[in-house]
Amino acid sequence: MRWSQTFIPTLKETPADAEIVSHQLLLRAALVRKLTGGLYTFLPLGLRALRKVERIVREEMDRAGALEVFMPALQPPEIWQQSGRYVTAREVLYKVRDRADKEWLLGPTHEEVITSLVAGEINSYRQLPKNFYQVQTKFRDEIRPRFGLMRAKEFIMKDAYSFDVTDQAAQVSYQKMYDAYTRIFQRCGLRTLPVEADTGVIGGKFSHEFMVPAETGENEVVYCETGPYAANLEKAVSQGPLTPCPLADTGHEPERFATPGVLTIEALSQAPYHVPASAQIKTLVYMVKPFGSEDSHPVAILLRGDDQLNEAKLAGPLGSNVFRPATPEEIFLVLGAHPGSLGAVASRLPTQAAALPVFADEALRGAAGMTTGANEDGYHVRHVNLTRDVRVTHWADLRTVRVGERCVVSGQPLKIRRAIEVGHVFKLGTKYSEALNARYLDETGVSRPCVMGCYGIGVTRTLQAIVEQSNDKDGVRWPVAVAPYTVLITPLNVAPESPGMQLAERIYADLATRGVEVLLDDRDERPGVKFKDADLIGIPLRVSIGEKSLARGEVELKPRGGAMTAAKAEDAVARVLEWLHEAEASRAT
Ligand code: ATP
Ligand code: MG
């Protein structure tokens, strides 16, 4: 391709509304353009890179035995009602109406559609296992679309869904996808870290996210440097707080004491009270809407004063992922006090709270001599013994892990870093197959629900994550496998009769016939402009043809970000092929 014939509108200035480097480079290197927040057009260079990522994804999915299909993006709401996600996923659903005022959904994901397909087509164990995938546009009404392609309203996902006869068989399908993902990201030139991920209401151990470590990532990953443990902060566990709760019973009964104006854990830890946060109980009230119900009810959540609630951990114990913090009015209705003075000591609960479910964090188990709100504005209670004085209905791990806590595997201190989630593999079980009737008859003629898994890669997010990980101050540094072009030829004199341009044309034609994806910068621009653009768009290998070196019969080869070497003009093609070959080989190892 000739630069003058394609469309590469590079930008000199950094666009003001692009906050992170990859977003800036996507715009500056003419890969995409913004239509409006969360919606982007791929320009020719960006689309070429995107197609490369997609090709790698398809090759690895095919290799793993998955079957490509293509499902409608427009979906009927009925199947979402059947699965329950019409309610639970309502926040991200784009809804549209047709001429008869019937509602339709723009698919944010496709579990419902694929499960409906399987329900109609598969009825015997002989037809299983099956894994179907597609590469398709998804629509999500994100609260905060941002960072370019990272969190868009419309994006391309590769989604796959496996169907198996048993849990054990589903585990095999899961592992195949895990391995395929590892290969996909490796081939894309991305360093990823697979981490244990939250499974929400579905529960179970089997969910991993593939994370690209990056300061700009929206996720936090807890990991251990000496062992294999790595988990999304939403899911992460540790051996517990570094300073344990007091356990020794003081022998005293709970005692109410006046704390006028004290509304925070921090205030109670100061003079004149001096109650350390680790000896306080924090009481939160949440409103929960159980699955299939229209009404919400309050629950109390107890944590150590110095711990933070991990909301992602709530869904499992609550059995619902529709919940929110209660308003001060709702809290007052049930506990008769305002935030800052709340507590769950049984003897201090008003009658209307007698049946209030109380979820306590494991770190509080056995704690004694604790202080908490008295459920009376301006008062707290001390000498609280969890076992004796609080009617805990559910114990669960609800706290957020902190840096330095001990790893449950190695016992070493944990670290936390930010990361971008590019892929997610998930063992679903039978939630969708039961709801949507995807059943098969086993060898003995018994009808059973298929055991499912689902596997997503954000293809457009992956593309941007590659740029986020592979760049320098001058621009993008594309890994060869996903570069829009692999070779850029830069003649400095582009007059058609000039020896430099004639040589450039010969090398260009020669490489192109050998199947090398080559871009010829035939613009009549100053060398400075050409080299700056070359660095910005980040083509892996540049062949520069200047008058001076050509007078010596030489051209210059420069890998992006590497050192320049001279090559004899007549060897240029061979040297380029050799370089590509080596790049290929080093990638394979
Ligand atoms: P996130 O936590 O980032 O919102 P998710 O858990 O909603 O992601 P999944 O439903 O598992 O994501 O989707 C699979 C993949 O699709 C994700 O791993 C991510 O790479 C990509 N993805 C999800 N939402 C978006 C979005 N709004 N824009 C671009 N890519 C996205
Ligand atoms: Mg999301």
Atom of ligand 1 nearest to the CA of 157: 16
Burial class from Cβ neighbours inside 10 Å (0-12, 13-18, 19+) for residue 89 reads middle
Atom of ligand 1 nearest to the CA of 456: 14
Look at ligand 1, atom 15, and give the residue with the nearest C-alpha.
458
- pLDDT of residue 15 exceeding 60, the answer is yes
pLDDT tens for residues 570-584? Answer: 999 999 999 999 998
Q: What amino acid occupies position 435?
A: A
Look at ligand 1, atom 22, and give the residue with the nearest C-alpha.
458
pLDDT tens for residues 363-408? Answer: 999 999 999 999 999 999 999 999 999 999 999 999 999 999 999 9
Q: Are 491 and 500 in contact (CB under 8 A)?
A: yes
State the average pLDDT over residues 168-175.
Answer: 97
Distance (Å, whole) CA 449 – CA 441:
9
Q: Which tokens belong to 199?
A: 């499974």
Distance (Å, whole) CA 572 – CA 517:
15
Q: Are 105 and 80 in contact (CB under 8 A)?
A: yes
Q: Mutation test of ligand 1: which of 151, 218, 233 has the most ligand atoms closer than 8 Å to its C-beta?
A: 151
Distance (Å, whole) CA 493 – CA 554:
15
Centre of ligand 1 from the C-alpha of residue 56, in Å: 19
The helix or strand, by DSSP H or E, that contains position 48, with its residue range, turns out to be helix 44-63
Atom of ligand 1 nearest to the CA of 145: 27
Burial class from Cβ neighbours inside 10 Å (0-12, 13-18, 19+) for residue 401 reads buried
DSSP label of 382: E
**Band of pLDDT at residue 588, cut at 50, 70 and 90:** low
Distance (Å, whole) CA 146 – CA 17:
10
Centre of ligand 2 from the C-alpha of residue 38, in Å: 14
Q: How far apart are the first and last CA of the chain?
A: 31
**Band of pLDDT at residue 205, cut at 50, 70 and 90:** low
- pLDDT of residue 132 exceeding 80, the answer is yes
Centre of ligand 1 from the C-alpha of residue 259, in Å: 46
Q: Which tokens belong to 336?
A: 């008769």
**Can you give the pLDDT at residue 249?**
80
Q: Work out the angle at residue 172's Cα, subtended by the Cα atoms of residues 170 and 178, and round it to the nearest 5 degrees.
A: 105
Centre of ligand 1 from the C-alpha of residue 458, in Å: 6
Could you count the other beta carbons within 10 Å of the beta carbon of residue 217? 21
Look at ligand 1, atom 29, and give the residue with the nearest C-alpha.
151
State the average pLDDT over residues 442-450.
Answer: 98
Look at ligand 1, atom 6, and give the residue with the nearest C-alpha.
424
**Band of pLDDT at residue 202, cut at 50, 70 and 90:** low
The helix or strand, by DSSP H or E, that contains position 433, with its residue range, turns out to be helix 431-435
**Can you give the pLDDT at residue 282?**
97
Q: Work out the angle at residue 136's Cα, subtended by the Cα atoms of residues 132 and 141, and round it to the nearest 5 degrees.
A: 120
**Can you give the pLDDT at residue 294?**
84
Look at ligand 1, atom 8, and give the residue with the nearest C-alpha.
421
The sign one gets for the Cα dihedral 322, 325, 331, 337 is positive
Which residues belong to CATH 3.40.50.800 in the chain? 485-588
Three-state DSSP at 245 gives: coil
Three-state DSSP at 229 gives: coil
Look at ligand 1, atom 4, and give the residue with the nearest C-alpha.
151
**Band of pLDDT at residue 461, cut at 50, 70 and 90:** very high
DSSP label of 174: H
Q: Where are the beta strands (DSSP E) in 80-129?
A: 94-97, 103-106
Distance (Å, whole) CA 246 – CA 383:
11
Q: Where are the alpha helices (DSSP H) in 275-426?
A: 315-318, 328-335, 386-389
How many C-alpha atoms does 440 have within 13 Å on its Cβ side?
21
**Can you give the pLDDT at residue 301?**
98
**Can you give the pLDDT at residue 586?**
82
Could you count the other beta carbons within 10 Å of the beta carbon of residue 328? 12
Q: Which ligand is the nearest neighbour of the Cα of 140?
A: 1
Look at ligand 1, atom 23, and give the residue with the nearest C-alpha.
458
Q: Mutation test of ligand 1: which of 461, 463, 464 has the most ligand atoms closer than 8 Å to its C-beta?
A: 461
Look at ligand 1, atom 24, and give the residue with the nearest C-alpha.
151
Q: Which ligand is the nearest neighbour of the Cα of 207?
A: 1
- pLDDT of residue 204 exceeding 70, the answer is no
**Can you give the pLDDT at residue 585?**
84
What number does CATH give the domain 15-228+415-468? 3.30.930.10
Q: Mutation test of ligand 1: which of 424, 426, 432, 462 has the most ligand atoms closer than 8 Å to its C-beta?
A: 424
Nearest CA among 211, 366, 343 for reference residue 284: 343
CA 105 to chain centre: 23
Atom of ligand 1 nearest to the CA of 142: 27
Look at ligand 1, atom 21, and give the residue with the nearest C-alpha.
458
Nearest CA among 436, 563, 465 for reference residue 119: 436
What number does CATH give the domain 255-396? 3.90.960.10
Could you count the other beta carbons within 10 Å of the beta carbon of residue 364? 22
Centre of ligand 2 from the C-alpha of residue 4, in Å: 40
Q: Mutation test of ligand 1: which of 421, 426, 466 has the most ligand atoms closer than 8 Å to its C-beta?
A: 421
Centre of ligand 1 from the C-alpha of residue 457, in Å: 8
Centre of ligand 2 from the C-alpha of residue 450, in Å: 26
Which residues belong to CATH 3.30.930.10 in the chain? 15-228+415-468
Query: How does strand 518-520 pair with strand 487-491?
Result: parallel
Q: Where are the alpha helices (DSSP H) in 301-399?
A: 315-318, 328-335, 386-389
**Can you give the pLDDT at residue 106?**
98
Atom of ligand 1 nearest to the CA of 152: 28
Distance (Å, whole) CA 548 – CA 371:
82
pLDDT tens for residues 238-263? Answer: 999 998 888 878 789 999 999 999 99
State the average pLDDT over residues 60-84.
Answer: 97
* Burial letters 539-577, b for 16+ CB under 10 A, else e: bbbbbbbbeebbeeebbbbbbbeeeeeebebeebbebbe
Q: Where are the alpha helices (DSSP H) in 264-385?
A: 265-269, 315-318, 328-335
In degrees and rounded to multiples of 5, residue 188 shows phi and psi of -75, 0
Q: Which tokens belong to 320?
A: 């619902």
Burial class from Cβ neighbours inside 10 Å (0-12, 13-18, 19+) for residue 510 reads middle
How many C-alpha atoms does 355 have within 13 Å on its Cβ side?
2
Distance (Å, whole) CA 161 – CA 155:
19
Centre of ligand 1 from the C-alpha of residue 92, in Å: 11
Nearest CA among 528, 522, 531 for reference residue 564: 531
CATH topology of domain 485-588: Rossmann fold (3.40.50)
Centre of ligand 2 from the C-alpha of residue 549, in Å: 54
Q: Which tokens belong to 578?
A: 């050799």
- pLDDT of residue 94 exceeding 90, the answer is yes
The helix or strand, by DSSP H or E, that contains position 511, with its residue range, turns out to be helix 499-513
**Can you give the pLDDT at residue 412?**
96
Distance (Å, whole) CA 484 – CA 233:
35
Burial class from Cβ neighbours inside 10 Å (0-12, 13-18, 19+) for residue 61 reads buried
CA 104 to chain centre: 27
Look at ligand 1, atom 19, and give the residue with the nearest C-alpha.
458
Centre of ligand 1 from the C-alpha of residue 89, in Å: 13
In degrees and rounded to multiples of 5, residue 497 shows phi and psi of -90, -10
DSSP label of 69: -
Q: Mutation test of ligand 1: which of 50, 92, 154, 157 has the most ligand atoms closer than 8 Å to its C-beta?
A: 157
DSSP label of 58: H
**Band of pLDDT at residue 306, cut at 50, 70 and 90:** very high
- pLDDT of residue 291 exceeding 80, the answer is no
- pLDDT of residue 151 exceeding 90, the answer is yes
Which residues have CB under 6 Å of ligand 1? Answer: 109, 140, 142, 151-152, 155, 157, 421-424, 456, 458, 460-461
